[in-house]
Amino acid sequence: MENITRLFQAFVAPAIFVSAISLLILSINVRLMGIVARLRQYARARYDATRAARLEEAGVYTEQIILIERRAEWIRRCFLFALVSLVGAIVSCLLLGLGLYWKHAALLAVAVFVLSMLCLLGAVGYYLREVVSALSAVRDETRDPRFSAPPEGERHDSV
């Protein structure tokens, strides 16, 4: 009975991290979906501008697409690191349980858990980088008159 109690105690700390990492992954996924939707919107707008021979407007969309693709890559890396961290937290739970019967497994669990937390730190670093970049991209977009000006032929003067 004592081993079962110790087993559950060994599972608690990594299990809390599993829950926290899962919530972070959910947040990353929502952010990635937003970036992909925005990327598709700009790709479509660039296509429409190119077909209508509005090359300057198409160029502005191309610049934005490049920035969004960079942000998408940072979120992809963030996602990857968070998933590796989740796997590490789960494996460390299992190794801690096995460590009750095989002492080397407990040492391995500690090493896996530390690596998992380092991956989580990497994920948070990429997430932070993307969030900072997203805010500056919005500022740049609102300051760029080429981006906010209506296309030629669609200007309406007030009377």
With a cut of 90, say whether residue 87 has pLDDT above it: yes
Q: Which residues contact 11 (CB under 8 A, 6 or more apart)?
A: 93, 96, 97
Q: Quick check: is 130 in a domain?
A: yes
Q: Quick check: is 108 in a domain?
A: yes
CB atoms under 10 Å from CB of 9, counted, come to 10
What's the rounded Cα separation, in Å, for the pair 136 and 109? 41
Q: Could you give the number of structural domains in the chain? A: 1
| Per-residue confidence (pLDDT) for residue 12, from 0 to 100 | 73
Note down the domain range covering 98.
Answer: 2-147
Phi, psi of 22 (to 5 degrees): -60, -40
DSSP 159: -
Q: Quick check: is 36 in a domain?
A: yes
Phi, psi of 156 (to 5 degrees): -120, 115
State how far the alpha carbon of 88 is from the alpha carbons of 7, 55, 74, 130, 134, in Å: 18, 49, 21, 24, 29
Q: Quick check: is 17 in a domain?
A: yes
Q: Quick check: is 27 in a domain?
A: yes
Q: Quick check: is 6 in a domain?
A: yes
| Per-residue confidence (pLDDT) for residue 5, from 0 to 100 | 72
pTM confidence score:
0.76
Q: Quick check: is 154 in a domain?
A: no
Q: Quick check: is 152 in a domain?
A: no
Token readout for 10 is 């060994």
What's the rounded Cα separation, in Å, for the pair 49 and 31? 27
- The pLDDT tens digits for 127-140 are 999 988 887 767 77
